[in-house]
Structure 1
Amino acid sequence: MSSREVELSSTVAGVTAEGRLHTLSVWFILALRLMMGLAFFQSGLEKVLAGNFNAGGYLRNAVPANGSPFADLFVAMGNTPWLVDLANVAVPWGEVLIGLGLLVGLLTRLAAFFGALLMLLFYFGNWEVAHGYINGDFAYMLVFLAVAAFGAGRILGLDAAVEQYVVGGEPLVERYPWTRYLLG
């Protein structure tokens, strides 16, 4: 193995996957984080500034029209006023906060988790499988999961500093290991 490669190995359910990453991979991981951060920040900011985002019509009409297997669930959500009110705040502001978290690399895993969750909902809401089950929403969900898995917030991000913040004489992530699920 050259000094410019990093070895990876992981075992899940008895199956081991191994590989090597070139050190240039760090720049592509950073690019994925920044791309998704900018896309979500812009999308959310447009909705917030317009001030007229309303998920109700989409949930009640668009989802059933595209044949989603979860159309009944989306319609039920669209017919539940408090859920529509929640979506009207959570979607635009969630996109803004997810985008900001990714852009500055703070609480990156948490932001990426919620980004992946939103993309999963968009995948089923925007159901379009005429050209196969893999579409842009599904691909973006996987990008969010990759950003989380690679700890992209440690690459020129604030998570690197937060993880090393000393609490009681120890770095934060050593004193509170659960913070690794939020940071990185």
Structure 2
Amino acid sequence: MSPSEIELRSTVAGLTAEGRLHTLSVWFILALRLMMGLAFLQAGLGKLLGGGFDAAGYLQNVPSANGSPLAGVFVSMAQTPWFMDVVNVAVPWGQVCIGLGLIVGCLTRLAAFWGAFMMVMFYFGNWDIAHGYINGDFAYMLVFLSVAAFGAGRIFGLDAYIERYEVDGVPLADRYPWAQYVLG
């Protein structure tokens, strides 16, 4: 292994995967984080500044028209007034918060988790398997999961500083191990 490579190894359910990352990979991980952050920030701001965002028509019509396996779930969501009130706030503000979190690298894993969740919902909402099961929504979900897995918030991000912040003389990440699931 050359000095410019980093070895990876993970075992899940008895299956071990191994590989090597080149140190240049850090720039691509950062680029993925920033790309998804900007994409979500723009999408959220577009909904907020465009005025009148309402997901009901989409939820009630599009999944049913495209044959989504979750069409009934989407219709039920659209027909539940309190749920629509939540969705109409959560989607645009969630996109803005996810975008900002990724851009500044703060609570990156938490932001990436919610971004992946939204992409799964978009995947089933925009259901189209004419060219296979993999589409842009599915690919973006994997990008979000990669950003989380690689701890992309530690690369020119606030998470690196937050993890090292000392609480009673102990770095936050060491004092509160659960923080690794939202930071990084």
Answer whether TM exceeds 0.5 for this pair. yes
Q: What is aligned with 2:38?
A: 38
Gaps of 5+ in 1: none
Single out whichever of 101-110 and 80-89 deviates more from structure 2: 80-89
1:20 counterpart SS class: strand
* Distance across 2 between alignment mates of 1:29 and 1:137: 19
* Distance across 2 between alignment mates of 1:129 and 1:87: 26
**Could you list the per-position Cα deviations for residues 8-49 of structure 1 after superposition, in whole angstroms to 9, with x for gaps in the alignment?**
000000000000000000000000000000000000001011
* Distance across 2 between alignment mates of 1:171 and 1:15: 33
Counterparts in 2 of 1:137-152, with a 5 A limit? 137-152=137-152
Counterparts in 2 of 1:98-117, with a 5 A limit? 98-117=98-117
* Distance across 2 between alignment mates of 1:164 and 1:76: 45
**Could you list the per-position Cα deviations for residues 61-110 of structure 1 after superposition, in whole angstroms to 9, with x for gaps in the alignment?**
11100000010010010010111111100000000000000000000000
* Distance across 1 between alignment mates of 2:59 and 2:80: 10
Gaps of 5+ in 2: none
* Distance across 1 between alignment mates of 2:72 and 2:26: 42
- The offset of 1:168, in angstroms, is 1.0
Q: What is aligned with 2:84?
A: 84
* Distance across 1 between alignment mates of 2:88 and 2:26: 36
Deviation >6 Å, runs of 4+ = none
Counterpart of 1:165, as a letter, is Y
Question: Is 2:18 the counterpart of 1:18?
Answer: yes
Q: What is aligned with 2:120?
A: 120
TM-score, normalised to structure 1's length?
Answer: 0.99
Q: What is aligned with 1:71?
A: 71
Q: What is aligned with 2:62?
A: 62
1:54 counterpart SS class: coil
Counterpart of 2:180, as a letter, is R
* Distance across 2 between alignment mates of 1:57 and 1:85: 13
- Identity over the aligned pairs, expressed in percent? 72
1:52 counterpart SS class: coil
* Distance across 2 between alignment mates of 1:55 and 1:85: 9
Counterpart of 1:4, as a letter, is S
* Distance across 2 between alignment mates of 1:77 and 1:32: 31
TM-score, normalised to structure 2's length?
Answer: 0.99
**Could you list the per-position Cα deviations for residues 92-129 of structure 1 after superposition, in whole angstroms to 9, with x for gaps in the alignment?**
00000000000000000000000000000000010011
Question: Is 2:135 the counterpart of 1:135?
Answer: yes
Counterpart of 1:107, as a letter, is L
* Distance across 2 between alignment mates of 1:82 and 1:126: 23
**Could you list the per-position Cα deviations for residues 148-169 of structure 1 after superposition, in whole angstroms to 9, with x for gaps in the alignment?**
0000000000000000000011
* Distance across 2 between alignment mates of 1:58 and 1:72: 13
